[in-house]
Amino acid sequence: MRTVLGAWALSGLCACSRGHADPVVGAEPIEAAALAIASASAAPPATTGSAPASWRGTYKSVASTLYIPPELKVSWKPSETSSGIGDGTVSMTVDPDTGRVRGELGGPLGPASLTGLAAGGRLTATIARKDPTDRGFAGTMAGTLGPDKGEGTMNVSLAEGGAIRSATFLLSSGAAVEASR
């Protein structure tokens, strides 16, 4: 529950890919996370005793913006930076028994870790720094996972909220990679 609440709070800051958003609209990926958690706890595991499924892929991040409604009377002027923009890598495993996701981000948004849940074809995860003292990018990831392909978006910001980035990612399952060799 703490992860969902923390991610919900961050989603208000990271409603980045929309031209404008308020905290309620920006909370949509987190609502999906809450639904995924609820459905995962209600549904029995698909298989038991199976090895974790591995996924690998790439992302492309771009500068994004944050809309703050004028009625909030907040003045926020982030410093401009080119950090966190570009192509990077994503790798993760999904435990088929629990749906737990563990992984890593490399590239301009990394090094970061992923922890989350995959259930019912949906993927939600929190992006956290491997070294919290580096004050790098952290945020949320939401998307879909099929039998051999995954895709979605990430919304992240620097620890001080000075730079906001939005990214799209594409994943292939380890089984799909092995079959293509």
Total number of domains in the chain: 1
- Alpha carbon 94 to its chain centroid, in Å, reads 14
pTM here is 0.70
- CA gyration radius for the chain? 16
Chain position carrying tokens 């192509």:
87
CATH code of 168's domain: 2.40.160
Cβ–Cβ < 8 Å for 79, 162: yes
pLDDT band for position 9 (50/70/90)? Answer: very low
Answer for the pair 12, 26: CB distance below 8 angstroms, yes or no: yes
Confidence of residue 3 (pLDDT cuts 50, 70, 90): very low
Give the model confidence (pLDDT) of 57-88 as tens digits: 999 999 998 888 899 998 877 777 889 999 99
Domain that holds residue 50: 2-180
The count of other CB atoms within 10 Å of the CB of residue 67 is 14
Q: What is the pLDDT of residues 127-177, one digit of tens each?
A: 999 998 998 999 999 999 999 999 999 999 998 888 999 999 999 997 654
pLDDT (0 to 100) of residue 49: 58
